Structure 1
Amino acid sequence: MMKYLVCLLLSNFLFSCASVMKDPQVNITNVDVADVTAKDITLNLKLNIINPNGIPINLKKVNYALQMSGKKIAEGVLNQGVNVPAKGQADVVVPVKFKFNTLDSLVSGLLKKTISKDYELTGTADLGIISIPFTKKGELDLKLK
C-alpha cells in the first residue's frame, strides 16, 4: 500500500512541475550555406535556445520537418546533444537540407523579390526518458532587395 502511495505522490509532483514549466524560446541567429549539389542545398541554421526554467534542458536528439504552404520542403534529425543550463541559453547549429525539386514555389517568390508563405515546423525533442512533440506555425515574410 505504501508503495502505491509513494508512486501516486511522485506522479502528482511530476505532473505539477510539468504544468509550471515554460516553453524554451528559440531564435534563428544566423544562416550559412553548408553545401550545394545538383539535387539539393544544405543550410546551417544557428539557433539560440533560451531556457526560462529553473532546471536544465538536456536534449538528446531532435527530429524535425518543415512545411511551407502545406508542402514538406525539409526534414531531418539533429543527433548532437544540446545542454541548455537552467535560466540560461545555448547555441546549436542545425543542418537543413532542401531538395531543389521541392522549392519551385519558393524560387518563384525569390524571383519576384518577395516571399510570403505559411510555414509549419513540427517534430519531437528527445530528452532521454521522454520525447516531447512540438509545432510552430507562422508566416515567413522576406522582402529581398
Structure 2
Amino acid sequence: MRPLGHAALAALAALLALTVACGGRAVRTPPLAVDPPAFRPEALLPTGADAYGVALALSGRIENPNPVALPVAGFTYAFEVMGAPAGGGQVASDLVLPAGGAVPVTVPVRLRWADVPGFLEALATRPAVPVTVSGAARVRAGGGTVAAPYRIDGSVVLPRLPTVTLADAVVRESTLFHTVVELRVSVRNPNPFPLPTGRLSYDLSVSGVPVIQAAKSPLDAVPPQGQATVVVPVRFSTVGAAAGALAGAVRGRADLSMSGRAGYGALEVGVDLRGALAAR
C-alpha cells in the first residue's frame, strides 16, 4: 500500500474529530483538505443533430485520489470551433466518486449552430469543422468545490442547406385593382433530420416591375431527406405600372422573379427564383 499524502492525512484527521473543545465551546474544524480529482476525457462523439444544433457525448473517467468518497455537483463546458469561442453550458450531476477509485462518466453537451462564428459561410465551404470542448467537473469537498479541468479535441459534421425551387406560378384572380398569384415553392431537405416549420421572406417582381417587397410567409416542415411543396398566395395592387406588367400574364405568360431568404432553424439559404407566370 502506498503511503498517504499530506492532503489525505489531513482528511483522515478531520474525519476523526470534526469538532474540538475550546473553553467549554464546540468549535468546528477547518474544511477538509483534498487532492483534486482528475478528469481524463477519452472521446467526443455526436449523438444527434437537428436544424438548431448537434448533441455530443463527452466520455472519459474521473479519478479520485482521496480516501473519502466525493460527490460531483456538475460539469461546465465551453466550445471552440475553428479556434473561436462558440458557446457552452453546464450539466448537473448526482455522480459520487468512490474513495481511492475511478469511475467512467459520459457528459451530454450541445453545440448550437447559432453560436458558431461564420456558420453559414462554413456551410458553403466545409463538410465538417474542428471542435474543442473544455471545462471542469465540479467536485464537492470540505464545504467547498474543487475543479477537475479537462480539454478534448474532435470534429463535427455540418448540416447541408436545403434547396429551394419555384415549381409553379399562376394568376388565380385578376381585377382592375388587385391580383392574386399562387406560388408553389418546392423545398428539398438533404439532411438525415427533419426541418422544422420555417420562414420565407421575399421580394417579387413581374416582368421586371416590383409588385411585392419585404413579404413574409411560413414554410411547412420537411421530412428527413425528403421534399415539400408550399403554396404561397400573394395579393397585390395592379394600379399603375403593375397593370402593364401583368398584361402578358393575363394573355398567357409573363416573367416572374422572387428574391429573398428561406430559413429553417439556424439553416438559412438565399432565394433567387425565376419562372413564368401564367393565367388560368
TM-score of the superposition, structure 2-length normalised? 0.37
2:243 paired residue number: 104
Relative distance call for 1:133 and 1:95 in structure 2 (3 A) is same
- Check 1:49–1:128 CA distance in 2 against 1; reply closer, same or farther (3 A cut): closer
Pairing partner for 2:160 from 13, 21, 24: 21
Any gaps of 5 or more consecutive residues in structure 2? 1-76, 87-115, 129-157
Match of 1:8 in 2: 82
Gaps of 5+ in 1: none
C-alpha contact (below 8 Å) 2:189/2:227 kept by paired residues: yes
Higher RCO, 1 or 2 (CA under 8 Å, sep at least 6)? 1
The alignment's TM-score, normalised by the length of structure 1, stands at 0.63
* Larger helix share, 1 or 2: 1
Residues 83-102 of structure 1: matches in 2 within 5 Å?
83-101=221-239, 102=241
Task: Name the residue aligned to 1:57.
Answer: 195
The alpha-carbon deviation at position 81 of structure 1 amounts to 4.5
Conserved 8 A contact 1:125-1:131: yes
- Give the superposition deviation at 1:100: 1.0
2:209 to 59, 65, 71: 71
Counterpart Cα distance in 1 of 2:171 and 2:244: 21
User: How many residues are paired up?
Assistant: 136
Structure ranking higher in strand proportion: 2
Which of 172, 176, 183 pairs up with 1:45?
183
The one-letter code sitting in structure 2 at the alignment partner of 1:140 is A
Shift of residue 56, structure 1, vs aligned partner: 2.8
The 3 A distance-change label for structure 1 pair 122 and 38 is same
1:121 equivalent among 250, 253, 258: 258
Larger Rg: 2
Q: Percent identity?
A: 20
How far off is 1:88 after superposition? 0.7
